[in-house]
Chains A and B, each alone.
Chain A
Amino acid sequence: MSFDWIKIPQALLTVFVVFNFGLLLNALIAKIAARVGRRQGIPIWQNYVDLIKNIGQRSLITHGVHFYLGPVFRLTGGVGLLLFVPTIYGSEMFSNLSFAGDLILALYFVFFGTLGMALGAAESGHPYSAIGVSRGLSQVTAAELPFALAVFAVALQYQTLSVTDIVAAQQGGILHWTLFTNPLAVAAAMLSFLGSMMRPPFDVVLAPQEIPIGPPTEYHSSYLALLQTNRAIFPIAKIVIYMNLFFGGAASWPVFALKVFLIYMVSVFVGVVFPRFRVEQSIRWFLIWAVPLGVLAILWV
């Protein structure tokens, strides 16, 4: 097949934009959260500083090959996820590499980074990493379910699995958004969104207090830098999927920025209000509150 090489610089551009946007957004969110907590909060460029600092740090430590590769998997997962999904609707330029596969590809590729990083962390032999992974996996099985149901509902609704087509189907006025055409699905999806954003009440996996940052415990300096980079890209990539599936996608970068910010804020709002769940609690919570919505969504379509 003929591959037009222009896609590569275009994709890189997307990555660059999203990366910076992500760094800033994270800082902004952190600041907002701090302000809610009556604190000053970090400066908006703080993340750049941390990143450069971590890159600059010299480390001589590794716990083994897979430990070394863990962050690589992670970042590959983030970037790949971003690139498998068209970022800006209607722009050939920012449809990225979505020719490689449809929605399903994106959904399953989410796990690529998580799995790779979990393995790497596990090789460090640090019990906290293992515990963190155990908690994370346990929670994700329940948290992903409503999202999967919602996605399936949407796919049924539009009779397609191609993200572009789904976005296309939502064009022509806010009322065509899945948000309004299939509110149940969106509700379910947003609940599971809370679970996947690693914020309270579902942040026991990272558990900043008792387990120093969970799975990535042993990662530092340049490894950490990769993880941070990913932390800037990955959530955005995820939110892009939500945006495309439920909120009519984005036809231009400003709209993109706005929608991503708002969707992100949902989890922040909830996060600052609620205390943390234990894992089994959150599992039950998802099964009791989110899953039924998803089921209804499917039956309703």
Chain B
Amino acid sequence: MIRRALVLVLLAVLGALFAALWLGFTPAEELGLTGRYYAEHTAPDLGAANLVTAIIVTYRGLDTLGEVTVLFLSAAIVGLVLAGGRPAARRKPPVPAGELLATGSRLLVPLILLLGAYVIVNGHLTPGGGFQGGAILASGTLLLLLAEPLKRFSHGLITRIESLSGATFVALGLLGLVFAGGFLDNRLLPVGTLGELFSAGLMPVISVLIGLKVGAEFSSMLASLSETEDS
């Protein structure tokens, strides 16, 4: 009880801090320094229509690299943690998925994968991009896992995909260091004309890599987690 009271008091002070922020906050009327720059230069410089993707993939590519690394890391560690898990043998057979789910999944999964692919490759033009698409791909995996809990994905494949895509990402970045303006500069390839699929230099490629990597990592996490599952 005292604990809760103390927590409340502390959070109250923290809340006061937030309140001060809230009161002091006035929404910007104009774009800030960097925001304005992106709005002005993205299209001409990088030839990307989707500013967000441009920022993610190029301007703040290092963040993105770090962030796929986060996923990679989590996946690896989840694997580590669960490596010591119980042998699968001791599991009770789960309830078989219903007819509806089984069929539905067979119908949906291809569509999901297609949508994912679309979202990924159009990342630089329309809302979407590597992450979003990757997440969609992974949802496909999830659906499969739900449909047949005992299905085993080959971790080998997943890890290969994520490793390769990750390594390529880094490699491309380094290429940028050599052939273009710097690490992760997407102007290795011609910028092309705004709005076309094959434009914005490397951006679509990197999106694809990110998509694959994210998808693979989510999948491997889901897979490892599901392997631990014993209902």
Do A and B touch directly, given a CB cutoff of 8 Å in the complex?
no
